[in-house]
Structure 1
Amino acid sequence: MIKRSLLKAAPVLFFFLVLYSSCNFSNGQAAIDSAEADSLSRLDSIEKAKEEAILNNPFVDSNLYRSQVLALANGDTTGKWPVKNQPIPLAGAILPAKRIIAYYGNLYSTRMGILGEHPPELMLEHLDAEIKKWNEADSTTEAIPALHYIAVVAQGSEGKDGKYRNRMPDSQIDSVLSIAKMRNALVFLDIQVALSTIEDELPRLEKYLKLPHVHLGIDPEFSMKDGSKPGKKIGSFNASDINFATEYLQKLVQDNNLPPKVLVVHRFTQGMVKNYSDIKLRPEVQFVMDMDGWGPPELKKGTYRHFIHKEPVEFTGFKLFYKNDIKNPPNRMLTPEELLKLKPIPIYIQYQ
């Protein structure tokens, strides 16, 4: 009887079993979906925490940075390189992880450098070729493009205010920014103060320097502190002039939450930069002393040894001239492979 009753009840029991199983499966699937959602939520929280940690830790990896700086010293045994007490820069610093390859000049002149010598498309093709050479010569440090534009130009005539300098109009600076955008390139705005001062010229460029990819160059050669006309003799900057620029950039970075700015200072004589040891380094500013002289290879390397290597500040640069370096045959331009043998290795390369 019991067995027969069970047989008669089997269809009903099967129905309820299927229904029960279906409910359990749905509940189980819901539980899985809920668990996955919780897991994804936790992952999102972890990623957000990582992002917040990065934001709250505004400095680059100190160990990696020091190893890269040590590599730039290239085995120097004088004790000058790498620079002692070099600050760890803020996150977003370009140097020394990247090598900057810059084209220098002014859009109004075909004689002031390669930047203004050719139409933009052709000029950028030449820059691409140099970038390729550097990346082939040193695969450990990516070469990136930059346009180094003379935004304040020293001139032979005194002008309306007697300062012997010509400020480029915003329209020209805007054109350089547009050209740079074609290659996602950095932009450097260079100042030749003549009889003016860094204090008077730098603030005019502030709206451009607030852009993350725009950096600064200043040229002691045309800083005529004795009132001489620019070009008649070689001018100079004191450490105090340079410190004004770095402090100005520091505040700009802090106030606008920007990555560090690169400051390039040109040099090819002892007297162009006075009291170099008083130059203040800051985490917000990466300082480059750029060897700016032209001539045959051995003369240029000697200038680098005497005025760049012997008076260390932070990073170094090297300028190459397409015309002046080869002016007197058999003179020639130095190659990337040769420059990579220097002590320290330049991390900023400029072509004029």
Structure 2
Amino acid sequence: MKHGSMDTMKRLVLAAALLFPLAACGGGGEKAGGDTDKGKAGAAQGEGAAKGQGAAQGQPGAASFAPQDTATRRVRDALAKHDSAQADSIARADSIAADSIKKAGGTASRRFNAGEDPAFARANGWPVNYPRPLPGSILPEKRIVCYYGNPNSRRMGALGEFPRDEMLSRLQREVQRWTAADPQHPAVPCLHMVSVVAQGDAGPSGHYRSQMRDSQVDSIYQMAKSINGVFIVDVQVGTDDIRNIMPRFENILKNPDVHFAVDPEFYMRDGVVPGRKIGTMHAADINYVSEQLARIVRENRLPPKVLVIHRFTRNMVTNTEDIILRPEVQIVIDMDGWGAPWLKRDSYRDYVVRHPVQFTGFKLFYGNDTKKGDPLMTPADLLRLEPKPLYIQYQ
């Protein structure tokens, strides 16, 4: 398959799949009581939580989201926007990649799956030049392998689906698999907790998000420490601003093994209720977060912080070329979409490889990736990608 081209049915499937919010609906999979086709925000609520009570109890609140359009119109509009937005970059990158192959000897010796072609990666600017990281950095020498979720929800991800000991044991097995698959990049265990959860009710804050209690956040941090792992604080800001949310976590970020993540899907800067459309983060927002992390690193003499930004559409992150790289911060763009392996590879190519920042990540959904009979991608599958992801998240 040529880059940027697909037959009609494949394009319909791709557009339809990318329209659903993706983060919280599939972590638990069928084992957690069944996946739904709602997006992350619809499943982010704590199980059994009464509508409107989430913020007061420190739990994700309940939400339901009405469809905004017919499926046919959504697919048609998505295809039109997808084609228009990517036409120029696809043509440019494919032309450069073709020239590289020609210079190397005329014809390609093999046909790559999407996201696996080294020449295509080079044509789009990989590897990226970035400031030399400070001592004690995790990347690029090691790989982070995370369990993602919220302890109040079995449906949001693996972190909350299983009892503590079973969850940690499962994570350790994944870490061992990754280290065995790529010994040159030993895997570091990680717990990635959604600590501010987007919801369908405005709540007491009026910003459609529920903040977890400090004691809950600290309890998961202590779990990560118990396995010599790292901890990532993830925030879904709703209609709030990251500049209001991030300062609350400054104290825990003063620990050398605590890092940060922001989910643009739920960055609703235009005031739309989370789940009704996909949100957007600008480079300026990411630069603010990066600047604050760098300041915390300098003031507390810490090793670099990892900053994870989730992405599965073009508009989730704008102006990537304006993102500032700093020696104190290591930025990961995490491919956050679920579906069949071909769809995930396409998304990795289109929304990560085509828009280089610094490091790459890849999310795997135990439930949603496999519920139609497709296999869960393996370490060997992901190690064929170019560039190779150094952050792996299981949901």
- 1:280-299 paired onto structure 2 within 5 Å: 280-299=324-343
Match of 1:80 among 99, 117, 125: 125
Contact 2:124 2:356 in 1 (8 A): no
Match of 1:340 among 358, 373, 383: 383
For residues 163 and 334 of structure 1, the distance between their equivalents in structure 2, rounded to whole angstroms, comes to: 36
Paired residue total:
279
| 1:123 partner SS | helix
For residues 317 and 73 of structure 1, the distance between their equivalents in structure 2, rounded to whole angstroms, comes to: 17
Percent of residue pairs identical: 52
| 1:245 partner SS | helix
For residues 172 and 165 of structure 2, the distance between their equivalents in structure 1, rounded to whole angstroms, comes to: 10
For residues 223 and 77 of structure 1, the distance between their equivalents in structure 2, rounded to whole angstroms, comes to: 31
Give the direction of change, closer, same or farther, for the CA distance of 1:222–1:260 in structure 2 (3 Å limit): same
Question: Residue type of the partner of 1:81?
Answer: W
Question: Residue type of the partner of 1:206?
Answer: E
Question: Residue type of the partner of 1:183?
Answer: I
Match of 1:303 among 347, 368, 371: 347
Give the direction of change, closer, same or farther, for the CA distance of 1:78–1:289 in structure 2 (3 Å limit): same
For residues 338 and 161 of structure 1, the distance between their equivalents in structure 2, rounded to whole angstroms, comes to: 43
Contact 2:124 2:353 in 1 (8 A): no
Match of 2:312 in 1: 268
Q: How many angstroms does 1:181 deviate by?
A: 1.9
Q: Which runs of 5+ in 2 are unaligned?
A: 1-115
User: 1:265-298: per-residue Cα shift (whole Å, max 9, x none)?
Assistant: 0000000001110000000000000000000000
For residues 225 and 322 of structure 1, the distance between their equivalents in structure 2, rounded to whole angstroms, comes to: 31
TM-score, normalised to structure 1, is 0.78
Give the direction of change, closer, same or farther, for the CA distance of 1:344–1:73 in structure 2 (3 Å limit): farther
Contact 1:73 1:345 in 2 (8 A): no
TM-score, normalised to structure 2, is 0.69
Residue 143 of structure 2 corresponds to residue 99 of structure 1: yes
Instruction: Pick the structure with greater CA Rg.
Output: 1
For residues 154 and 123 of structure 1, the distance between their equivalents in structure 2, rounded to whole angstroms, comes to: 24
Residue 286 of structure 2 corresponds to residue 239 of structure 1: no
| 1:262 partner SS | strand
For residues 350 and 182 of structure 2, the distance between their equivalents in structure 1, rounded to whole angstroms, comes to: 25
Match of 1:108 in 2: 152
For residues 181 and 79 of structure 1, the distance between their equivalents in structure 2, rounded to whole angstroms, comes to: 38
For residues 120 and 97 of structure 1, the distance between their equivalents in structure 2, rounded to whole angstroms, comes to: 29
| 2:146 partner SS | strand
For residues 238 and 221 of structure 1, the distance between their equivalents in structure 2, rounded to whole angstroms, comes to: 12
| 1:349 partner SS | strand
Give the direction of change, closer, same or farther, for the CA distance of 1:163–1:325 in structure 2 (3 Å limit): same
Higher relative contact order (CA 8 A, sep 6+): 2
Question: Residue type of the partner of 2:193?
Answer: Y
Q: How many angstroms does 1:79 deviate by?
A: 5.1
Match of 1:351 in 2: 394
| 1:77 partner SS | helix
Match of 1:142 in 2: 186
Match of 2:162 in 1: 118
Q: How many angstroms does 1:161 deviate by?
A: 2.1
Q: How many angstroms does 1:124 deviate by?
A: 0.6
